[in-house]
Structure 1
């Protein structure tokens, strides 16, 4: 079986009858640090890019290919990881993924040629692929519906914070000891987190000794329970439920994927090219870039956490979960599109960084609302595979954004044209969401009579 049920929750930690424990927020903390390490790993290459380009004799177009290579394996394993989380549980999937991504992050330090670095990044992407969908599966299992927005937002706030601390950590280690050591340090941190995950997480709240009956009841109160799967036989599909493929290719799911793609294009534009933009276009040195480069990611962390709080508050106030999630996504992508467009015309440091930070704050309101929206469109037992498919489509932006930006910087109209393209795609994401994620479409997907 996937997970042994262990001691019944009613016999655990019930010293205060009727008062729920709060262990689910410790789970959220583990997921927060997973996201922080995940993005620290990813951003390390972009921060070290000036050193790597010099040591390995790479130009901007070649560096763009290296940035994009990560997503070749990543996109495929977004879906594979989500499917595996549904079938085998997030605990096992995350343990395997974290072990491999830490190992390949460390292996980046051994790269001596373009080809070596390319292979290491593809393998690293394969290992990190399950992270987003497995996180969403864990939240779906551990949080009630009314807390989903906050849970996704707060846990995923670790991701931009990881990108923020990458600048000083990698930049200062690279200046003092060389860029290779920074990847070894980050790999060690990954293995420390893996040990904490193995000790502190179980796939279902009922299987953890620190969860009492009241908390288990709270978690199950307004969220479809996640069944325990038999690893050899799977689980029976309810007669009224659609097949996995019907969910994957439905209009609402595709709409969420397009909005997520628009966000990811902006994300990976900043994640891979912002340090080079600050050094090459704004003429900062590495020490200055290490400090200034933190600011957009601090704004992004506020957007992640704040977007979840706003989305849940709107849901509580209106009782309309689709409206609450869509408002946050639309506002986030819309304001981000405007700020990125204005940043394309900024020629001095202060307005450029202020606009990029504001764009990051609003853009990062989007992903947690997308993840939460998926939880309201598809049933819990399909959330891993469906989330993995959405993440796969969304992370095609990770292949396109770095390489297109590198090409535009070297052969096109420079950084200004790269900013304009990112802005236009954000606007397209807003339109796609509004056209495809409608109450009537979601009702039909769920088999509920329209207007019910």
Structure 2
């Protein structure tokens, strides 16, 4: 039997790889960019943060658009625009132009996660959804791993401006394959078998009856969605701290060369790739063992995000580069091991008709960490001339979000959700 749904996941995996290759390019090239454009750490922090200003705004807008016009169409427009804007980064002439390009670049990348969640929900039965989302998104950290050596080598050989033009081409090539091979829903695809379509449509997480669909505000007030927002904020704070400032930490604080830094960052990203690939499998495995979706998501979040927070805080206290790298590698692995759980919580709670909007809203709130974190880190580094407080703050925010999950995802809420599942099945 041909499983077209897994081919869709493969395409999404490649898109995620390209997304983080493009997104990480500035972090890797930052020392060269800052030197040529005369940008101090505080200004560089603002450049990193302004990406997330546009990104967070279009997390919700992209999710809402996917509900209205379909995930495939929105995703196609997003990758076209972010690829062009990635290339346009090479034309920046100073702080102002770089700030404007990065804001637009963030807006273009904003729809990514919500549209992937929407497409996975369209194409997969509930019992496979977290696994599929994990596989689709494990391309993200792999792109981050490859970005280090690729962008560093291009920058050293041809300069950072040419490096941005080079990595921008990958997205445009991917888009041609996506247009030919993908559809928004299974019934639109000419090669989906009747058995595969029946498997997908017969196993939904919540009722898809239009009469049962509530207004957006109803879902945003659910404890599971609030827990997803808060914990995803903690996740995002660590992720974007690592994505934006960890390469600079290795060059500024640990005095690694651009080449050594680019190679050193590969290990955490590779472990993140493995972690994200396993995250959905772990979440769905615990779900199948317990028979309780909320309980499974809760404990995966608490254990994995908690471990990531502890390791990041400790990474700021160690004296050797090797120990800092090891702790950050463990942190990134644990972080990404929880990666599918936030979106699984949303799929466990929200019908498909509102999935893009709710997912986009959750992602938008979470990515406020990207607006705040890099700017705060730049300020702390410039004032203290050390990264110690930035590491401790990132770990502390993640641990605080773990406490929120423990409080919000109570057994009573899980039991109520389980009874809802039973009534839907009946």
Q: TM-score range by the shorter chain?
A: over 0.9
- Name the counterpart of 1:57: 38
Is 2:41 the partner of 1:69?
Answer: no
Which has a greater percent of helix? Answer: 2
Equivalent of residue 99 in structure 2, options 115, 118, 122: 118
Write the distance in 2 (CA, Å) between the matches of 1:142 and 1:443: 27
- Name the counterpart of 1:386: 358
- Name the counterpart of 1:168: 149
Is 2:164 the partner of 1:183?
Answer: yes
Is the CA contact 1:250–1:445 (under 8 Å) kept in the aligned structure 2?
A: no
Instruction: Give runs of aligned pairs for residues 63-102 of structure 1, distance below 5 A.
Output: 63-102=44-83
Is the CA contact 1:247–1:445 (under 8 Å) kept in the aligned structure 2?
A: no
CA RMSD of aligned residues (A): 2.0
Is 2:8 the partner of 1:31?
Answer: no
Is the CA contact 1:31–1:155 (under 8 Å) kept in the aligned structure 2?
A: yes
Is the CA contact 2:205–2:348 (under 8 Å) kept in the aligned structure 1?
A: no
Provide structure 2 residue ranges, at least 5 long, that are not aligned to the other structure: none
Is 2:252 the partner of 1:280?
Answer: yes
Write the distance in 2 (CA, Å) between the matches of 1:413 and 1:440: 48
Aligned residues: 424
Write the distance in 2 (CA, Å) between the matches of 1:224 and 1:380: 9
Is the CA contact 1:21–1:214 (under 8 Å) kept in the aligned structure 2?
A: no
Give the C-alpha shift of residue 226 in structure 1.
Answer: 9.7
Report the 3-state secondary structure (helix = DSSP H, G, I; strand = E; otherwise coil) of the residue aligned with 2:339. helix
Structure 1 residues 449 and 309, CA gap change in structure 2 (3 angstroms): closer
Is the CA contact 2:24–2:144 (under 8 Å) kept in the aligned structure 1?
A: yes
Q: Which of 334-343 and 105-114 deviates more?
A: 334-343
Write the distance in 2 (CA, Å) between the matches of 1:330 and 1:126: 31
Write the distance in 1 (CA, Å) between the matches of 2:119 and 2:163: 30
Give the C-alpha shift of residue 148 in structure 1.
Answer: 1.1
Is the CA contact 1:43–1:163 (under 8 Å) kept in the aligned structure 2?
A: yes
Equivalent of residue 153 in structure 1, options 134, 144, 147: 134
Q: Which of 112-121 and 148-157 deviates more?
A: 148-157
- Name the counterpart of 1:315: 287
Q: Return the TM-score normalized by structure 1.
A: 0.90
Residues 322-378 of structure 1: per-residue CA shift (max 9 Å, x gap): 111111111111111111121111111111111000000001122211101110011
Residues 265-309 of structure 1: per-residue CA shift (max 9 Å, x gap): 000000001110111111110111111111111111111111211
Residues 48-68 of structure 1: per-residue CA shift (max 9 Å, x gap): 000001000000000000000
Structure 1 residues 322 and 292, CA gap change in structure 2 (3 angstroms): same
Give the C-alpha shift of residue 215 in structure 1.
Answer: 0.9
Report the 3-state secondary structure (helix = DSSP H, G, I; strand = E; otherwise coil) of the residue aligned with 1:210. coil
Report the 3-state secondary structure (helix = DSSP H, G, I; strand = E; otherwise coil) of the residue aligned with 1:364. helix
Equivalent of residue 290 in structure 1, options 262, 271, 279: 262
Provide structure 1 residue ranges, at least 5 long, that are not aligned to the other structure: 1-19, 228-235
Give the C-alpha shift of residue 211 in structure 1.
Answer: 1.0
Give the C-alpha shift of residue 440 in structure 1.
Answer: 3.4
Give the C-alpha shift of residue 413 in structure 1.
Answer: 6.3
Is the CA contact 2:308–2:334 (under 8 Å) kept in the aligned structure 1?
A: yes
Is the CA contact 1:157–1:302 (under 8 Å) kept in the aligned structure 2?
A: yes
Is 2:318 the partner of 1:338?
Answer: no
Is the CA contact 1:377–1:446 (under 8 Å) kept in the aligned structure 2?
A: no
Write the distance in 2 (CA, Å) between the matches of 1:413 and 1:175: 27
- Name the counterpart of 1:22: 3
- Name the counterpart of 1:375: 347
Structure 1 residues 412 and 246, CA gap change in structure 2 (3 angstroms): farther
Residues 132-172 of structure 1: per-residue CA shift (max 9 Å, x gap): 10000000001111111111111111001111110001000
Write the distance in 2 (CA, Å) between the matches of 1:292 and 1:224: 41
Write the distance in 1 (CA, Å) between the matches of 2:418 and 2:217: 14
- Name the counterpart of 1:403: 375
Give the C-alpha shift of residue 399 in structure 1.
Answer: 0.5
Q: Return the TM-score normalized by structure 2.
A: 0.96
